[in-house]
Amino acid sequence: MDKVRARFFSRYYAFLLSLPPDSLNVTGKCRIAIEGVIEIERGLYIRSRNYNRVEISVGREGKLKIGESVFINQGVRIVATTTVTIGNNTHIGDETIIIDNDFHGVKGNPPKKGPIEIGSNVWIASRAIILRNVKIGDNSIVGANSVVTKDVPPNCIVAGNPAKVVRILDENS
């Protein structure tokens, strides 16, 4: 029954996103609101649950670009009002939030917003928060419960609130 349900959701969301059915694998209901543009390469896997749904929202002026072989776990929330780019072979842990604007201003000023770029081969652990104007370099790891407010260099591990480099990774490993 689970295989039949996954096949149904994969075909349903592939149709909604104008993708070939074999390029998407979805295992549950998602909330997807698209006013802007979504570009998705082959091999996107979304593991959503009825009790912990994946939510993807792309605003009128927003763009979401997802590379090949990307895994999005349950409860992930992605909001693109400007640009959010997710590179190839990236894995996003459950209940992670990727949000490219503040949604409200301070002292009468408009909300601040800015692009988010996540490189290839990145692992974002559970409940991390990626905020606006951030670039995460290739082959990096974002620790669980981290809040990323500044750029992350390639080949490193960041953790904490705010996230800081805790270790440099060997490029050959």
Active site residues: 104
- CA 172/CA 66 separation, integer angstroms: 25
Token pair, residue 107, equals: 């002292």
- CA 167/CA 173 separation, integer angstroms: 13
Which DSSP helix (H) or strand (E) runs through 10? helix 2-16
- Per 3-state DSSP, the chain is made up of helix, strand and coil in percentages (nearest 5) of 10, 40, 50
